[in-house]
Copies of this chain bind each other. A is one copy, B any other.
Amino acid sequence: MLTRIDHIGIACFDLDKTVEFYRATYGFEVFHSEINEEQGVREAMLKINETSDGGASYLQLLEPTREDSTVAKWLAKNGEGVHHIAFGTADVDADAADIKGKGVRVLYDEPRRGSMGSRITFLHPKDCHGVLTELVTSAAAESSGH
């Protein structure tokens, strides 16, 4: 069951400048940053609030690390902006299987590693009214077994 807006993924050309924009304009601070080589992105997570399911909602700022990454291709086509949205769940495997069973294309056969040790998958935007949609189980939810 999807129980929170986990994050909004925002693609940008220059991560440092975009982080500085969010800090200077709104006071949002970087909670975590990492490079995800598999996804081809450098990213910063800005924690905005905590959520009623025990998790939190973040902005995820994404800068591509290579020209052939999906985010680089998306930026070349669309320019900077909202790239995807993500819902949090205690069990990404079960939700992905359930949603696949309803005829929505799930992009990975098995969930992959996302930010902060989470496990993630994506749903095809053409099956989701134009919205690239991610499902996330946080590392905390994994380790607590719910």
- Interfacial residues, chain A to chain B (CB-CB below 8 A): 1-5, 8, 10, 12, 18, 21, 24-28, 48-53, 57, 59, 79-82, 85, 87, 99, 102, 104, 125, 128-131
Contact = CB atoms under 8 A, between A and B. Distances in A.
Contacts of A12: 129-130
A119 to B, nearest CB: 18
A141 B115 CA distance: 33
Instruction: Quickly give the copy total for this chain.
Output: 2
Given A2-B48, A49-B57, 20 more contacts: A2-B27, A3-B49, A4-B48, A4-B57, A5-B8, A5-B48, A5-B49, A10-B129, A24-B102, A25-B102, A49-B52, A49-B53, A50-B51, A50-B52, A51-B52, A51-B57, A80-B131, A81-B130, A81-B131, A82-B131
Contacts of A81: 82, 125, 129-131
Contacts of A50: 51-52
B5 A5 contact: yes
Nearest to A3: B49
A4 B46 CA distance: 11
Nearest to A135: B26
Contacts of A130: 10, 12, 79-81
Nearest to A48: B5
A26 to B, nearest CB: 5
